[in-house]
Amino acid sequence: MVRDSNIKDELGNTLSPGNPATDAIKIAPVVIVACAELKKSGCFRGEPVTDKGDSWYMFDVALAMQNLTLAAHSLGLGTVHVGAFNARKAASILEVPEGFCVVEMTPLGYPDQEGRVTPRKELSEIAFHDKYGS
Ligand SMILES: Cc1cc2nc3c(=O)[nH]c(=O)nc-3n(C[C@H](O)[C@H](O)[C@H](O)COP(=O)(O)O)c2cc1C
């Protein structure tokens, strides 16, 4: 959890050029930066157990951040998943140790505008019975 204005500003500067979340990262009272320990999730004795290799930490962080954003929403707070940024630079700013990485961040605060809901696909387009595509 980052509350320091200078650090929030530095984090904001790691976002991709023109990233619409930049101002929110710099201005929000709190920025939550989700980190993961490498070679843990989906691994046994430091070795990946599945064909996904050492990438299950992305799954775990996504679940945690999804829960966090939903909990924030239920309290009237605004968030936005921010993934388009230089994660190595962010890790260096936050002095994240070796063996851990930065995955995503979100600003947290009272929203100054209403979010837009993306149109969803019909369930029939993405849910299949017995075999993929049927
Ligand atoms: C993995 C991931 C990374 C994202 N990165 C950014 C980002 O860097 N900047 C931004 O403004 N929004 C980002 N978003 C938010 C999306 O632009 C979008 O607002 C949000 O996902 C809601 O739309 P959806 O329900 O269709 O996913 C990201 C979303 C996801 C899932």
What is residue 27's predicted lDDT score, i.e. its pLDDT? 97
Distance CA 37, CA 99 (A): 6
How would residue 113 be classed by pLDDT, with cut points 50, 70 and 90? confident
Average model confidence (pLDDT) for the chain?
Answer: 97
Q: Is any ligand 1 atom within 6 A of the Cβ of residue 82?
A: yes
- Alpha-carbon torsion 117, 1, 17, 102, what sign? negative
Pocket test for ligand 1, best of 61, 81, 103, 121 (most atoms within 8 A of CB): 81
Q: pTM surpassing 0.85?
A: yes
Q: Which residues are bridge partners to 108 per DSSP?
A: 30
Pocket test for ligand 1, best of 79, 82, 103 (most atoms within 8 A of CB): 82
The answer to which of 50-54, 58-62, 100-104, 109-113 has the lowest mean pLDDT is 109-113
Average pLDDT rounded to a whole number, residues 94-123: 95
pLDDT, tens only, 66-86: 999 999 999 999 999 999 999
